[in-house]
Structure 1
Amino acid sequence: MQKDKQYILSIDGGTQSTKVAIFDLTGHELCSHTVKLQPIHLYGADRAEHPDDDLWDSLIEACQALFAKFDGDKGAIAGVGLGSIRCCRTLIRADGSLASPVQSWMDLRLSRPYQHEDDTVKYVTTTTGYLTHRLTGETRDTRSNYVGPWPIDPITLDWFEDQETFDSYTTPRDMLFDLVDPATILGHVNAFASHVLRLPQGLPVVATANDKAVEGLGAGLVNDGTVLISLGTYITSMMVGDENRQDATSFFANPGAVPGEFLYESAGIRRGMSTVTWIKDLLGGDIVSEAEAQGLSPEAYLNKRAAEEVSPGCDGLYTLLHWLARPSHLHERGVMIGFNGNHKGPHMFRSVLEGIALTMKNNVQAMCDERGVAPTRIIVSGGGSNGDLFMQIFADVFGVPAFRNEVNGSASMGAAICTALALGIYADRQEAIDKMVRRKDTFEPVPSNVALYQRINQEVYQHLAAETDGLLKRSHAIFHGEEE
């Protein structure tokens, strides 16, 4: 088949939704469908799970809906790029079904190695490993999605060869999948998956990486001082390079989305964009009804009001984004400080956006200082980047141009690029980016806003966490029966 007539199907599994998309080989998204996942089931002191078989069921629903509206030739699909959430754990029975619900990255069990307690469990793997097994029947997985307490050597990116070190992770080798590089064919769509997903049987299924590395690739991230801000349930910032920096203290190095590449990731914000949703829900039905009356989504309506009614700095209203505490800092809580009688809902909304941008500015600066580089520009990806106000806040807080790509849900684009590389459609990473990734908008920093945010950050915002930390520790002790 002619190269310009081929398509790629990409799978982008997230914490809140599953998206499938069909791209042509020049990176145009021809068709897509997104299915919202069930809310994470939070229970007990440490449990966070995806209910039922939600990741697989949502993929079935998304694929069936996609092909119901796709008017192209399914036979022209060259391959499937498989991306899904990182830092999750799946326990699989011998027949390929889940032995228990998928453990979310928010589950504190993920801070510890797997403990084998259920004899019905045949395999322990990631979300990409589970979906690979469903799609192909293979027990193979991308080595680039093993982040956390797995018996994987951070240098060789393979299972530890030293038996004593391997055994310290308490997971038998025969329960683990074989590891392959990203941009490698994992297997081929089997008869079962073909039937339920309506995919052509025999299609190659391609390994990607962890979801953030895939997103970096899909955003066109290169090693020239460019920073990617990823707006998701977990907000983080990323850069790429070719050094495996295991010695870093202000960022950590992950395997990238192509062999030999490493993704450098700063500290992030847990439940980051969920905080924006929280504010929207908190403001209630009036926001929804007003938005509907103006033909806008609630988020677009709040962006419009905050841009029109609230000046940069929100008249001294600041937000600390600890809506989900880190496992090592369970006393952390979200904080809004600086209210007066003039503050209204749009102030709170903008304050959350500014808090996200200021937090990520400080995290990025720490990463860049340790790397010995200066940030030159930022790319912002994820649904939050659709808001012009948020994009301008990022440009002003960072003091550098902020870009938004045509495809701003860049994890799906990254999965498509991995597939193009695995199938030999493009020779290397840069050629694929040049052919498939395009910028849409540029937001230049406003000098007066840059100066204001610098002063706010240096004189106030950088000190808020330290000033409130002791109080939050004492509050945590009161409500959890602990000594100060």
Structure 2
Amino acid sequence: MKYVIGVDLGTSAVKILLVNQNGEVCREVSKSYPLIIEKSGYSEQNPEEWVEKTTAGLAELVAGFDGDVHDIEGISFSGQMHGLVLLDGDNQVLRNAILWNDTRTTRQCQEIYEVAGRERLLEITKNPALEGFTLPKILWVKEQEPEVFERASVFMIPKDYLRYRLTGEIHMEYSDAAGTLLLNVAEREWSGELLGLFGLSAEFCPPLVESHALVGTLSAGFATKTGLSEAVKVFAGGADNACGAIGSGILSEGKTLCSIGTSGVVLSYEKRNDLDFAGKVHYFNHSEENAYYTMGVTLAAGYSLSWFKDTFAGEEEFVEFLTGVDEVPVGSNGLLFTPYIVGERTPHADAAIRGSFIGVDAAHERKHFVRAVLEGITYSLNESLEVFRSSGKTIDSIVSIGGGAKNDTWLQMQADIFNARIEKLSSEQGPGMGAAMLAAYGCGWYPSLKECAEVFIETAKTYEPIPKNVEAYQKLFAIYQQVYAQTKELNEQLREFRK
């Protein structure tokens, strides 16, 4: 039996999967590392932590593997998007990585619009200038740390830096490059126009490769430290959302993913490179060659639920916390929640907006509030689906993964609010599985990612929308959509009182 390894470099931990040719996860290792938060809005990590924890994780995985280590043929990567790693001329890290959830760059985003023009930026990159993206971070370092920027030779994304440390080879693949605001997404090349406008050289950007591209083999030193063979083939990998889509079988038109973790993502496969969503949703290159995906983001999806539990139910387990939610009728007896507790991304890119409970009644019990939180998260994700549908997309089947796929009541709620069939996978491994599939495809196990998905991915259960619930939720969703506009000014006024 042959094996591949999928490495998912997340924000809080690296997760490593050993997967065989049947798509079965044979071993799984996770190693956590800290965030560095110097002040409000800052979020950084030491790239050396990624290397050390991945090395330790791979060594642990190999130590527990009872087969022939030479049967492990390939390794590929998934990772957190947008983060900035700067290297000098000797390929040494110049400063901590600035992560995707760092929000210090509001002024740089405005500068990008002023210099490039909002419409032209959307034409080239298909995305608006948001604090999380990479170009604003580059401009912040250029302005605030000029001595660091002066020494910078090349920039990288987190998982690409990790892969460089394994192989000694520097590349960036298209799905992560699409999240930098420097890629011409349709033409699949670095934008000379944007590089010129911001005084950046072409050499500052790594060479571009496909996600399944073979980019090297393990260095002798890294092989020794982990116990892996130097012959292990290393493939480029993809951005976490692109790999999550691959690991969920989102590989053809009409396929859509709902992923609820700390944040929430609705992602839909696109074959065309010329759709226009006016920046309302993200539009990125997929990790499948010559494919794309559109994506909407709810910043506090699962986080809204965990915040509510931690605040009002202490150490209670989630299973107990959600007890009784299935008894509460659609609409939570007139209670509505908006999950804007850390601001919002799609379709309202607004760092100042905050959440609301509306319609609180003396008859409401905790279970009503819990159901209202679940419904509010799902309404927010549905806003992204409505943007997709308004562009002419047909969405009638959605694969649900993450925390939202662990509760039957919530899965049925998704079917009713999204008005679509919901599919729950029999084995859900997310981006790590997508990375493993890229390695399997790169190793030649399957002639395409789609054929790999037919073996690796299986639907366990489906949930069909219930017509009477769909009708009720359509009325409730219309009310939900009014809340943002009617609370925006109130939240602006409250901003000065937030500590």
Q: Secondary structure at the match of 2:297?
A: coil
Compute the displacement of 1:168 (Å): 2.2
Shift of the 149–85 alpha-carbon distance from structure 1 to 2, 3 Å rule, reads closer
**Is 1:236–1:269's contact at 8 Å kept on the other side of the alignment?**
yes
1:15 counterpart (6, 11, 35):
11
Shift of the 310–202 alpha-carbon distance from structure 1 to 2, 3 Å rule, reads same
Shift of the 181–60 alpha-carbon distance from structure 1 to 2, 3 Å rule, reads same
Compute the displacement of 1:120 (Å): 5.3
CA distance in 1 between partners of 2:226 and 2:374 (Å): 38
1:251 is aligned to 281
Compute the displacement of 1:286 (Å): 4.9
Say which is worse superposed, 410-419 or 119-128, in terms of deviation: 119-128
- Cα deviation, 1:86-132, whole Å, max 9, x if unaligned, reads 11111235565533222111113445151442155443110122111
Structure 2 counterpart of 1:257, which letter? S
Compute the displacement of 1:414 (Å): 1.3
CA distance in 1 between partners of 2:332 and 2:61 (Å): 42
Matched, 1:66 2:61: yes
2:405 is aligned to 385
1:332 counterpart (345, 353, 357):
353
Compute the displacement of 1:211 (Å): 1.5
**Is 1:92–1:130's contact at 8 Å kept on the other side of the alignment?**
no
Residues 44-59 of structure 1: pairs in structure 2 closer than 5 A = 44=39, 46-50=41-45, 53-59=48-54
2:97 is aligned to 102
Residues 81-92 of structure 1: pairs in structure 2 closer than 5 A = 81-92=76-87
1:295 is aligned to none
**Is 2:14–2:31's contact at 8 Å kept on the other side of the alignment?**
yes
1:294 is aligned to none
1:199 is aligned to 228
Instruction: Give unmatched runs, 5+ long, in structure 2.
Output: 106-131
1:133 is aligned to 164
CA distance in 2 between partners of 1:277 and 1:416 (Å): 30
Shift of the 476–175 alpha-carbon distance from structure 1 to 2, 3 Å rule, reads same
CA distance in 2 between partners of 1:345 and 1:105 (Å): 34
2:306 is aligned to 277
2:126 is aligned to none
**Is 1:85–1:127's contact at 8 Å kept on the other side of the alignment?**
yes
Q: Secondary structure at the match of 1:268?
A: strand
* TM-score computed with the length of structure 2 as normaliser: 0.85
1:440 is aligned to 460
CA distance in 2 between partners of 1:318 and 1:51 (Å): 41
Instruction: Give unmatched runs, 5+ long, in structure 1.
Output: 288-297
Shift of the 29–7 alpha-carbon distance from structure 1 to 2, 3 Å rule, reads same
Matched, 1:167 2:196: yes
- Cα deviation, 1:253-294, whole Å, max 9, x if unaligned, reads 2111121111122x311132222222222134351xxxxxxx
Q: Secondary structure at the match of 1:22?
A: strand
Shift of the 411–149 alpha-carbon distance from structure 1 to 2, 3 Å rule, reads closer
2:484 is aligned to 465
How many residue pairs are counted as aligned between the two chains? 459
**Is 1:51–1:102's contact at 8 Å kept on the other side of the alignment?**
yes
Shift of the 52–216 alpha-carbon distance from structure 1 to 2, 3 Å rule, reads closer
CA distance in 2 between partners of 1:425 and 1:205 (Å): 15
Compute the displacement of 1:85 (Å): 0.9
- Cα deviation, 1:218-271, whole Å, max 9, x if unaligned, reads 111143423211223331211112111353224332111121111122x31113
Shift of the 342–51 alpha-carbon distance from structure 1 to 2, 3 Å rule, reads farther
2:246 counterpart (213, 217, 229):
217
Structure 2 counterpart of 1:69, which letter? G
CA distance in 2 between partners of 1:35 and 1:323 (Å): 29
RMSD: 2.5
Matched, 1:317 2:335: yes
